[in-house]
Amino acid sequence: MKIAVAMTTFNGARYLAAQLESLALQTFAPCQLVVCDDGSTDATLAILDEFSGRAPFPVEIHRNPTNLGYANNFFRAASLCRGEWVAFCDQDDIWLPTKLAQAAAAIEANPGLCMVLQNAELCDADGNGQGTKFPDWIKPGVYGSNRQYAFWVWPGFLKTFRQDLIDVLNTVERPVSYSPDFEIQSHDKWTCMVANALGGICVLTDIVARYRRHEAALTGPNTRRGINVEIRRARDIGADHYQRLVRAATTSAAYLRLVAERSDHRDWRAAFMKAASRFDEVARIQEARARMYADRHFRSRLQAFAQIWRLGGYQGDRFTAMGMASALKDAARVLGLLR
């Protein structure tokens, strides 16, 4: 079994050397490291060139002629990998020596896997651990198809996935993102959607990386927010956001039907068509939720709330259920306590 590492870089000279050294120290060596640089103007390329001359595995460095953006750049790096499996790699984290070894062991122990997910420890800009396991959102184990919520994500640098997903499926015409930060799905969201449809997701529990958070990080410093801040953030989310989720679910269903029609793999076709139908359900739930937050009449809001409940939008099936916190928030909206 071969695992290739797909790394993207962009002006990452400050932390890149430490990440590269952690790759060199892996007890299960990658079959190759593919790096796609998105137009760095600092010392990033010099650091990569120096490392490629002494790395204990082949290193390919590709300089993009134009800036692709981080998600498309990751897809490009993954498409150039020649391993059976691909591990995404950010430019500013630190991998512990057994990260790839643990992923490889899980793959060998569980035939039929689609993706392996692992955990990290949050650390500051200097790499000092903060004692917080991240993301730690899902219990360890192996999960079948459609066993996660429709709009779920796991950080890209903590996943190892099958290379043929990138080779065979369409990574260009991706669905609308459910996050307002990006117009279409990023690489980490796309891989989660596809793996959830196909099943075979293995979640491991050990900490295998240090997740460096700093002001220059694309996803921010990951500053902890108190419960009051979280409540205010949830309270301010309204009809516009839920309409975006309708578009995300609708385009996800259309995308999955498209890849099903183009697939030569019978089992994949069936799995993608089933997942598309599940996204249709999510679209109906989010449409009712958007209507609830836009409507000024109590009776209409109550009817929308009851419809969401009947459709499994709060409890029951993991793919559609948002949880009781969402139910409580929506109940407050029905009663007019939220705008």
DSSP string, 106-117: HHHHSTT--EEE
Pairing of strands 115-123, 201-212: parallel
Strand partners, 62: 36
For the chain, the domains span 3-212, 227-334
pLDDT for position 53: 97
* Topology (CATH) of 3-212: Spore Coat Polysaccharide Biosynthesis Protein SpsA; Chain A (3.90.550)
Question: What is the average pLDDT score of the chain?
Answer: 93
Report yes or no: 171 and 86 within 8 Å, Cβ to Cβ: no
The pLDDT tens digits for 17-30 are: 999 999 999 999 99
pLDDT for position 149: 98
| SS3 state of residue 50 | helix
pLDDT for position 225: 47
Give every CB contact of residue 117 below 8 A, 6+ residues apart in sequence.
Answer: 138, 154, 158, 159, 201, 202, 203, 204
Rounded CA-CA distance 34/77 in Å is 6
Q: How many CA atoms lie within 13 A of 91 on its CB side?
A: 27
179-183, 213-217, 318-322: segment of lowest average pLDDT: 213-217
Q: Is the pTM of this model over 0.95?
A: no
Task: Kindly report the number of other CB atoms within 10 A of residue 78's CB atom.
Answer: 27
**Per-residue pLDDT for 32 more than 80?**
yes
**Per-residue pLDDT for 281 more than 80?**
yes
pLDDT for position 217: 55
pLDDT for position 52: 98
Strand partners, 202: 116, 142
The pLDDT tens digits for 225-270 are: 454 555 566 567 889 999 999 999 999 999 999 999 998 889 999 9
Report yes or no: 156 and 123 within 8 Å, Cβ to Cβ: no
Give every CB contact of residue 172 below 8 A, 6+ residues apart in sequence.
Answer: none
Strand partners, 89: 7
The pLDDT tens digits for 200-237 are: 999 999 999 999 986 555 555 555 545 455 556 656 78
pLDDT for position 226: 52
> In the predicted model, what is the mean pLDDT of residues 138-151?
97
Angle at the Cα of 294 (from 324 to 237), degrees rounded to 5? 50
> In the predicted model, what is the mean pLDDT of residues 126-151?
95
Rounded CA-CA distance 93/71 in Å is 17
Report yes or no: 281 and 311 within 8 Å, Cβ to Cβ: yes
Q: Where are the beta strands (DSSP E) in the chain?
A: 3-9, 32-37, 59-63, 85-89, 94-95, 115-123, 129-134, 141-143, 159-162, 201-212
Strand partners, 3: 85
State percent of the chain over pLDDT 70: 94
> In the predicted model, what is the mean pLDDT of residues 47-58?
98
Report yes or no: 312 and 320 within 8 Å, Cβ to Cβ: yes
Report yes or no: 78 and 167 within 8 Å, Cβ to Cβ: no
Rounded CA-CA distance 150/331 in Å is 22
pLDDT for position 162: 97
Q: How many CA atoms lie within 13 A of 251 on its CB side?
A: 17
